[in-house]
C-alpha cells in the first residue's frame, strides 16, 4: 500500500481541500500575452499583491511579537495584513507598524464587548473589521469556547447592529454556502471570506469547489476573499480564476516567520506573488481582472 493511502484521512477537510486544489489544471495561452500586473485595490488602497495575511493570532510561540512581525512583513511587501483574536494592546501594536490591517473579531457571547472591540479597532485605524462566524459552535453542538471565552451564533439582526456601529467595511468570515452569501449581502457586509477555518468541520466543502456558486451570488457587489490551504502562487491563481478577489495565506507564512521574522514574511509574500505572476504571464492574464475562469480544467478521477 502506498504511503499516501496509508495516511489517508477521508474526513479531513484540509486534505480534501488540498486534493481539490491539485485536481485543478491550467491551460497555457501565449499569443498576445504581456508582462502581468499583480496590483490589487481594496477599500480605496492599492497593494502590490492580492496575497494577504490570514487572520491569525497568538504567534508569540512562533516568533517574539509574532503578530507585529507579521504586520511588518506585510507592510514591507505592500500587502494587506489581517489580525485575529488578540487583546487591545496587541491590535494597537499591530496597527502602529503602519500596516493596513483588517481586524477579525470573534463572535463573543457579549455583544457589548464586540461593539467595544469594533470601536477600539476603529480608533487604532484599521482599514476594516469583521467576524469569523464559523467559531459560533464547537464540534459537540454546544457553543464554542475559545481561550475561555464563550461564543454565540449571530442573527442577521445582530450583524446589522455591528455593521451599523462603524463606518469601516465589515467582513463576514466563514461563508461556505450560497445561503450565507445571500445573507451577507442582505445585512450589508462589505466583504466575505470563503473558508472552513482550517477544517473546523469534517467533510467540509473545499472553498474553491463552492467558490464559483458564491461568486455568482455576490455578482461583483463586494470583495470575495478565500483562505484555507493557500500554499503557492499557483493556488492563488486558481482561487482568483474561480471568483476570488484576493486570498489569505496563513500556515505557509509560519516557517518563514519562525526563521526570519518580518523579513521572512515579506520574502514569502514576494515569492508567492512572483509565482502568481508567472502563471498569469503564461495564461495571457495581463492583470487580476483579466484572469479568465475558462483556463481552469478539472482533472477527472
**What letter would DSSP give residue 161?**
H
Residue 109 has phi, psi (to 5 degrees) of -65, -35
Q: Which residues are catalytic?
A: 197
Closest alpha carbon to 178 in 209, 218, 206: 218
Indicate the SS3 state at residue 76: helix
Which residues neighbour 136 within 8 Å (Cβ) at sequence distance 6 or greater?
Answer: 107, 143, 144, 151, 152, 153, 154
Indicate the SS3 state at residue 116: helix
d(CA 200, CA 134): 8
- Which ranges of 82-227 does DSSP label H, i.e. alpha helix? 88-96, 111-124, 156-164, 178-187, 207-218
Contact indicator for 113, 97 with CB cutoff of 8 Å: no
d(CA 256, CA 262): 8
Q: Percentage helix, strand, coil, to 5, in the chain?
A: 45, 20, 40
Amino acid at each position: 500500500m502506498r504511503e499516501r493511502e496509508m495516511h489517508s484521512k477521508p474526513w479531513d477537510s484540509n486534505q480534501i481541500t488540498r486534493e481539490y486544489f491539485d485536481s485543478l489544471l491550467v491551460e497555457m495561452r501565449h499569443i498576445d500575452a504581456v508582462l502581468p500586473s499583480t496590483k490589487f485595490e481594496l477599500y480605496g488602497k492599492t497593494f502590490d499583491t492580492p496575497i494577504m495575511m490570514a487572520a491569525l493570532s497568538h504567534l508569540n510561540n512562533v516568533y517574539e511579537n509574532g503578530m507585529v512581525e507579521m504586520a511588518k512583513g506585510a507592510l514591507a511587501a505592500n500587502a494587506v495584513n489581517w489580525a485575529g483574536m488578540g487583546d487591545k494592546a496587541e491590535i494597537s501594536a499591530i496597527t502602529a507598524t503602519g500596516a493596513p490591517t483588517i481586524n477579525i473579531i470573534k463572535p463573543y457571547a457579549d455583544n457589548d464587548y464586540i461593539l467595544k472591540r469594533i470601536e477600539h479597532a476603529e480608533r487604532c485605524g484599521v482599514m476594516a473589521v469583521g467576524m469569523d462566524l464559523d467559531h459560533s459552535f464547537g464540534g459537540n453542538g454546544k457553543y464554542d469556547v475559545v481561550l475561555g471565552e464563550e461564543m454565540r451564533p449571530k442573527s442577521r439582526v445582530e450583524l446589522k447592529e455591528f455593521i451599523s456601529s462603524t463606518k469601516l467595511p465589515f467582513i463576514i468570515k466563514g461563508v461556505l454556502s450560497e445561503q450565507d452569501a445571500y445573507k451577507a449581502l442582505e445585512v450589508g457586509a462589505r466583504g466575505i471570506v470563503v473558508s472552513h477555518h482550517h477544517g473546523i468541520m469534517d467533510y467540509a466543502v473545499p472553498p474553491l469547489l463552492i467558490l464559483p456558486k458564491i461568486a455568482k451570488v455576490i455578482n461583483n457587489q463586494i470583495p470575495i476573499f478565500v483562505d484555507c490551504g493557500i500554499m503557492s502562487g499557483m493556488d492563488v491563481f486558481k482561487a482568483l480564476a474561480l471568483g476570488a478577489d484576493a486570498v489569505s495565506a496563513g500556515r505557509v507564512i509560519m516557517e518563514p516567520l519562525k526563521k526570519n521574522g518580518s523579513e521572512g514574511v515579506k520574502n514569502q509574500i514576494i515569492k508567492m506573488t512572483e509565482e502568481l505572476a508567472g502563471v498569469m504571464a503564461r495564461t495571457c492574464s495581463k492583470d487580476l481582472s483579466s484572469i479568465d475562469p475558462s483556463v481552469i480544467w478539472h482533472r477527472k478521477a
